[in-house]
Amino acid sequence: MDLDDFQWLLTDEGQTLLAEATALVAEGAAPLAAGSALRRTTTPERAATALTQVELRGRAVAKFGDLAPRMYFTPAALEQATRIRVARHRAGRAAAFGAQTLVDLGCGIGGDLVATAEAGIVCAGVDLDPVRVAVARANLAALGLPGAVQVADATTVDHSGFDLAFADPARRSGAGRSSRVEDWTPPWSWVEGLLARDACVKVAPGIPHSLVPEGVEAEWVSDDGEVKEAALWAGRTATVARRATVIGVGGLATITDEDDPGVGAVGVREVGGYLYEPDGAVIRAGLVTAVAAGVGGGLVDAKIAYVTADRPFRTPFARGYRVLEPLPYREKQLKAALRERGVGRLTIKKRGVDVSPETLRKRLSLQGDAEATVVLTRVAGEGTALLVEPM
C-alpha cells in the first residue's frame, strides 16, 4: 500500500468501500467472492486495499483488542507493533514518572502514541516512512486521541523540549529480524546517547545484561506468559537495575532485583512437594531466586530455572505444579512407567536437558486414556523425570 492508496482509503468513497468489505468478510464471504463483489463498483487495486485492511484489522485484534476494528495497519508495521496492554503499561510508567510530554522517535503506525495519549500525556511522533506517519495520524484521529505526527529522521530531531523520549529501534537486517545491536536502526551508538537522558528504549528480550549501560534499568515484560520485550529506562525513570513485569488476566505484577536475595540465600535443595516454572520475563531478568524466596523454596539446580518448595503458593511470577512422583529418566524405562499408568496424552516440560519434546513424544508412542505432565530436567546435575500435576 502506497501513500496515495492509503489517503484514498480515508476519503468518503474509501470509507464506504471499507465498510462494504468489512460487511462481506463478516458475512463469511470467501476472499475471491468478496473481491469480485467489490470490483463491481471500484478498481481491483482499491478493492484489494480495502480487503487487505479488513484482514489486517482481524489479525490486529490479538494485539489491540477492541481498538483494532477502528484502526489502520500495514503488514510489516502490525508485526512490529507493541501489544496495547504492554504499551499501556509503559505509558502508565511514564505518567507515574511525571512526564507530561513525550516524543516517540520512530512511531510506526502509532500504537505507543495511542497508549501514551490515553494516559493523558501530550505526545508527538516522528518516522521516516510517510505511509506509517499517515497511518499513525489516522489512528489517533479514529480513536479520538490528540497527538502530532510528522515525517522526520529520529536521529536529527531535537527532543530536548520533551519530558521523556521513547524509541523502538528497528531490529532487522537484510536477512530478517536480528538480535545484533549492530543491525539496529537507529544504531546502538544513538541509543546509548539517548539513554544519557530521561528516556525509554524498547529492545529485544534477548539483550545481554552486559550491554545495559550503568545506571539504566532493564525491564523484561511478558503478556499472557509470553515474553514480548525488554525496555531500558534511563535518567530519573530508572528506579532499580533489573525488573520483571508480568501482565495477565488478573492484572499486572512486578518483581525487581531488590526482591532477590541471591542463590546463596535460597540454596539448591532436593525436590519437594511442589515445582515452580518461573515466567520467561523473570528468567530473562535473572530473578529466579527472587521467585524461590517468594515461595519459600530453593533451586533444583544452580543453573536451572526451576524452583521447588514444600508447600503450595500462588504467585504471578511462576506456574506451579504438584509433584506426584519421580519417574525413570531413561527413555525405555520412562515409556514403560507411563504405559503402566495408562497415559496416552502427554505434556512434556523440559529445561536444562537436550531433549526434543515432540520427538520424544513420538518415540514413546503412548496409547492410554489418561493425561499426564512430565518434567525433564537436572536435579543437582543429574537427569531427572518428574510426574507432576498443574496447580
Q: Which tens digit of pLDDT belongs to each residue from 282-292?
A: 999 999 999 99
Helix axes 44-64, 31-38, angle to 10 degrees: 130
State the CATH class of domain 78-252: alpha beta
- How far is the C-alpha of 119 from the C-alpha of 116, rounded, in Å? 5
Q: How is the chain split into domains, by residue range?
A: 3-62, 78-252, 263-390
- pLDDT one-digit tens code per residue, 208-234: 999 999 999 999 999 999 999 999 999
Task: Spell out, as residue ranges, where the chain has pLDDT lower than 50.
Answer: none
Q: Looking at residue 116, what is its pLDDT?
A: 98
Q: H-type helices in 275-378, by residue range?
A: 280-284, 288-294, 331-340, 357-364
Q: Looking at residue 380, what is its pLDDT?
A: 87
Q: Looking at residue 249, what is its pLDDT?
A: 86
Q: Which CATH architecture has domain 263-390?
A: 2-Layer Sandwich (3.30)
Q: Looking at residue 260, what is its pLDDT?
A: 96
Whether 190 contacts 159, CB under 8 Å: no
All 3 cell numbers of residue 22? 468489512
3-state SS class at 329:
coil
- How far is the C-alpha of 213 from the C-alpha of 166, rounded, in Å? 17
pTM over 0.75: yes
Burial 200-230 (b: 16+ CB within 10 A, else e): bbbbebebeeeebeeebbbbbbbbeeebbbb
Q: Looking at residue 181, what is its pLDDT?
A: 78
- How far is the C-alpha of 125 from the C-alpha of 320, rounded, in Å? 42
